Amino acid sequence: MLPERPVHLDRLSPWLERLLADRPVDQARIVRTYAVWQVLRRIRARAAHTPITVSQAQRARACLRCAADLLTWLDARGQDLARRTWNSG
């Protein structure tokens, strides 16, 4: 018998490309890097042990959408992510 295919995981990469299709190249590069090294890496590691649930895939999409929206928000204000300082107070 074949192992269960991680359908929710398989759908994330095409969804990400659709999300980034109309974004500026620099924004898409940053979000794609974040997706590969943070979000997708974490969810793939989890998928190696247990099936990915719908809510886990939704959370991954929400994290990526928020990252893309943050970059759009910064661009609209003429700010750059690399030069931005974040106050924690």
Instruction: Tell me which residue range forms the domain holding 62.
Output: 7-79
Q: Is residue 85 part of a domain?
A: no
pTM summary value: 0.83
Structural domains in the chain (count): 1
**Confidence category of residue 5, pLDDT binned at 50, 70, 90:** low
Cα–Cα nearest to 54, from 14, 8, 10: 8
Render pLDDT for 29-69 as a digit per residue (tens, 0 to 9): 999 999 999 999 999 899 888 888 889 999 999 999 999 99
Q: Is residue 84 part of a domain?
A: no
What average pLDDT does the structure give for the chain? Answer: 87
CB-CB contact of 16 with 32 (8 Å): yes
Lookup: tokens for 1:
């018998």
Q: Is residue 31 part of a domain?
A: yes
